[in-house]
């Protein structure tokens, strides 16, 4: 088994095991997807699966300037441009449904406080319309508000269907709202959504159930990052916590779990699970995607050991729209330019050359 072995993912047969990882690029002017984004994703349609950048399910889940949403008719129409363009090129695309939780700021939320499981500020800062600002202490969600957010995720799945997506990935990683509920460093509630790992997992499982009720489990994935330290995240026993969560996901027959390996920041901050994927290979009964700075050789290696079913690539897909072809031919790769990762321009977004152009 290698990157070019076809694979069944839910109801889809993928021609390869190369996944375009979700990557925030901030090209959605006024939070509405557009023709430039359609071109960007269509260029990369040779991936076995594309997962979009994080996509807000409500106005209060916006964590960044010009990140896309999927809660208005204009946003749904904008995403339809994207899905039509990808499908015309023979690709498959899931939207990543996202709530930023405490990783937001009133300047991004019309003056409203960010929300979170507990009134504990994240660590770090954000770029906002009023400049770069530190994260503020969020509003601790009431029980009724939690139910409203579960409903927003469900409606996000309904809107994803209307926008033409093949499925959704729930963003349960990197210190955003779902992750904030799971980990005890950010969740210090004393009600049924806090305390024990069973209670801290309640929110994510309610979201999975709601979204699967719309799409069926076979069109739903979830991204998790047990070693994540972004925005001050921590858990007293991440191995135990995430083992419980992943075991609890098994009955939903999901399309996949997308598991993140630690990066340099995580490894320099504290002791973390490393590696992650092989442990959860033994726990999760379905399809497992792994992400963590892989190249062609290391990706083929983890697949050959059967420690994962697919591998997702981030920065390599930014700079190489035809990454699968380059891997297949062992061709030279373009180098990504971090200076253009974010912004409103086509530069560094849709202007990286294809292999035939390079020649």
- Residues marked as catalytic: 176
Task: Provide the phi-psi class of 22: left if phi over 0, else alpha when psi is between -120 and 50, else beta.
Answer: beta
The angle at the Cα of 247, spanning 97 to 5, to the nearest 5 degrees, equals 70
DSSP secondary structure letters along 303-321: HHTTS-SEEEESHHHHH-T
Q: C-alpha angle with apex 113: 107 to 114, nearest 5 degrees?
A: 95
Q: Is the peptide bond before 275 cis (omega within 30 degrees of 0)?
A: yes
Nearest to 175 by CA among 118, 228, 115, 98: 228
In sequence order, what E strands does 57-106 have?
93-98
Burial 94-116 (b: 16+ CB within 10 A, else e): bbbbbbbbbbbbebbbeeebbbb
Helix then strand then coil, % of the chain, to nearest 5: 40, 15, 45
Among candidate residues 19, 20, 21, 16, the one with its CA nearest the CA of residue 2: 16
Handedness of CA 187, 190, 191, 195 (dihedral sign): positive
For 354, list phi and psi in degrees, rounded to 5. Answer: -80, 165
List all residues 6 or more positions away from 78 whose beta carbon is below 8 Å from its beta carbon. Answer: 28, 32, 33, 34, 37, 68
Give dist(CA 295, CA 246) in Å, integer.
Answer: 26
């Amino acid at each position: 088994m290698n990157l070019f072995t076809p694979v069944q993912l839910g109801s889809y047969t993928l021609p390869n095991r190369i996944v375009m990882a979700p990557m925030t690029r901030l090209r959605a002017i006024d939070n509405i997807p557009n023709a430039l984004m359609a071109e960007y994703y269509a260029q990369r349609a040779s991936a076995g699966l594309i997962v979009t950048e994080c996509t807000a399910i409500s106005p209060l889940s916006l964590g960044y300037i010009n990140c896309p949403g999927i809660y208005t008719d204009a946003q749904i129409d904008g995403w339809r441009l994207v899905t039509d363009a990808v499908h015309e090129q023979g690709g498959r695309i899931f939207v990543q449904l996202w709530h930023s939780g405490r990783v937001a700021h009133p300047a991004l939320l019309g003056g409203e406080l960010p929300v979170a499981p507990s009134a504990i500020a994240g660590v770090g800062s954000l770029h906002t319309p009023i400049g770069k600002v530190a994260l503020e202490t969020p509003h601790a969600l009431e029980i009724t508000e939690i139910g409203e957010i579960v409903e927003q995720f469900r409606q996000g799945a309904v809107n994803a269907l209307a926008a033409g997506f093949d499925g959704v990935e729930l963003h349960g990683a990197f210190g955003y709202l779902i992750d904030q509920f799971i980990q005890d460093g950010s969740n210090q509630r004393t009600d049924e959504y806090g305390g024990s790992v069973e209670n801290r997992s309640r929110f994510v499982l309610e979201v999975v159930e709601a979204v699967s009720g719309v799409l069926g489990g076979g069109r739903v994935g979830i991204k998790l990052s047990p070693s994540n330290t972004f925005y001050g995240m921590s858990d007293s026993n991440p191995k135990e916590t995430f083992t419980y969560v992943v075991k609890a996901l098994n009955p939903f027959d999901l399309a996949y779990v997308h598991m993140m390996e630690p990066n340099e920041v995580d490894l320099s901050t504290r002791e973390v699970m490393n590696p992650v994927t092989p442990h959860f290979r033994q726990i999760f009964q379905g399809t497992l995607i792994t992400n963590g700075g892989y190249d062609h050789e290391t990706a083929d290696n983890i697949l050959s050991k059967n420690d994962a079913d697919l591998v997702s690539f981030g920065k390599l897909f930014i700079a190489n729209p035809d990454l699968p072809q380059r891997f297949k031919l062992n061709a030279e790769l373009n180098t990504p330019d971090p200076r253009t990762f974010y912004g409103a321009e086509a530069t560094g977004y849709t202007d990286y050359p294809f292999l035939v152009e390079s020649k």
